Amino acid sequence: MFKVEDIRKDFPILSRKVNGKPLVYFDNAATSQTPQQVIDVIVDYYSNYNANIHRGVHTLSQEATDLYEQARQKIQTHFNAKFSHEIIFTSGTTHGINLVANGFSTLLKEGDEIIVSALEHHSNIVPWQMLCERTGATLKVIPMNEDGELVMTEFDKLLSKNTKLVFVNHISNALGTINPIEYIIEKTHKVGAAVLIDGAQSSPHIKPDVQKLNTDFYVTSAHKICGPTGVGMLYGKEEWLKKLPPYQGGGEMISEVTFEKTTYADLPHKFEAGTPNICGGIAFGAAIDYMNTVGFENIAAYENELLKYGTEKLLEIDGLKIYGTSKHKTSVISFNLKGIHPYDVGTILDKLGIAVRTGHHCAQPIMDFYKIPGTIRASFSFYNTKEEIDIFIEGVKKAKMMLS
């Protein structure tokens, strides 16, 4: 196990103050912080290698291309994809989902069905609604229960020969529930449909093996895994990526262009139109290296300790209710104080230097289910400490006193 004091030294931002108080950063489910090892790679790139890739014969361009393609291979190895061309660089999870949704618009017809879960992020709902509007397909929803878990018996009933696509997040960003994706993938394949897993919340905690999972698609964002914003990846099985049409037209994605006809480039370039976020891709690779050095098993074990500690301490506060009480969850705690608006609590916590998220967490249907406007969400990462949780608990108690 790592020493959290040593880990914290890697993150320069953790030593800054907010409103005169040491920062307590508990908004990790929205974005994670960046270690010096990744910041160094970004500085090094712009100081030494900045050039456009895949086109130039000059040295800088070749070096930048090598670094970018090495990053793709690192990501391939980490997620255990069979081929590096099954890894498509995207601008993030949202982009990856839209790429797949757009591709499926040519494969769906009226009467086809798409299944999503009740625990989805807006970015995982809207593209499918748009896809249904374009194709006449219907959207079905796997319902959730009071604990914030998906009801698998209902999922079984939704599956049929009309099902073409199932989309589900591995872990809910609003509640932290870990969904039974192995079961979902297996069942979906039995009716011959494809599965896309949104791994934006799971990839910071769990090292996924896309071949073992046997998922058809998997998306995530680098900024949730200690990397920079504006870059992410889509994994797709080769056969699926070959089947889907390109998403955007532009440079890099073509093989030959005449005004009569354009032929598309091979994978992965078919889906990578225009100049990509080169530095971001390289830094994404560095973030994966960093996380693996810390070790995913260590990360999960430590974050579980924080979850247990934080949950126990919060539940000691009178009138506090936690939403998302599944036994299978990660270090996300969504809660409310009786009779107090979450936004007001968030504002007071910020005055105390504590960063939490308040609101619907881009998951309004979950809030509607519980009939609440939103929650206060504290999400812990492996660089957080029990001492910070103590400061946070004192803050919540203070907010409660001031607002009730």
Ligand X SMILES: *Cc1c(COP(=O)(O)O)cnc(C)c1O
- Of 205 and 269, the one with the shorter C-beta distance to ligand X is 205
Structure tokens that stand for 33 in this block: 């912080």
CB 154 within 8 A of CB 231: no
385 binds ligand X (CB under 6 A): no
28 binds ligand X (CB under 6 A): no
CB 302 within 8 A of CB 296: no
Q: In the block, which residue shows the tokens 């757009």? A: 102
CB of 258 to ligand X, least distance (A): 35
86 binds ligand X (CB under 6 A): no
- Of 64 and 195, the one with the shorter C-beta distance to ligand X is 195
CB 237 within 8 A of CB 86: yes
CB 377 within 8 A of CB 334: yes
221 binds ligand X (CB under 6 A): yes
- Of 220 and 384, the one with the shorter C-beta distance to ligand X is 220
Stretch that binds ligand X, among 150-158, 197-205, 315-323, 381-389 (CB under 6 A): 197-205
Q: In the block, which residue shows the tokens 């009786």? A: 338
* Residue in 33, 93, 102, 381 binding ligand X, rule: CB under 6 A: 93
- Of 205 and 400, the one with the shorter C-beta distance to ligand X is 205
Eight-class DSSP state of 12:
G
Of 209, 212, 137, 134, the C-alpha closest to 167 is: 137
**Backbone phi, then psi, for 59, in 5-degree steps?**
-60, -45
173 binds ligand X (CB under 6 A): yes
Residue 357 β-bridge partners: 377
CB of 401 to ligand X, least distance (A): 32
169 binds ligand X (CB under 6 A): yes
Structure tokens that stand for 207 in this block: 């090292």
CB of 179 to ligand X, least distance (A): 11
Q: Which residues contact 50 (CB under 8 A, 6 or more apart)?
A: 60, 64, 278, 279
Stretch that binds ligand X, among 87-95, 127-135, 378-386, 392-400 (CB under 6 A): 87-95
Stretch that binds ligand X, among 38-46, 148-156, 195-203, 337-345 (CB under 6 A): 195-203
200 binds ligand X (CB under 6 A): yes
94 binds ligand X (CB under 6 A): yes
What is the DSSP pairing of strand 232-236 with strand 87-90?
antiparallel
| Amino acid letter, 272 | E
CB of 199 to ligand X, least distance (A): 8
334 binds ligand X (CB under 6 A): no
Q: How far is 246 from 243, CA to CA, in rounded Å?
A: 10
Stretch that binds ligand X, among 17-25, 121-129, 312-320, 369-377 (CB under 6 A): 121-129
The crossing angle, in degrees rounded to 10, of helices 59-79 and 278-294 is 40
CB of 296 to ligand X, least distance (A): 18
Q: Catalog residues that contact ligand X under the rule CB under 6 A.
A: 92-94, 121, 123-124, 169, 173, 198, 200-201, 221, 224
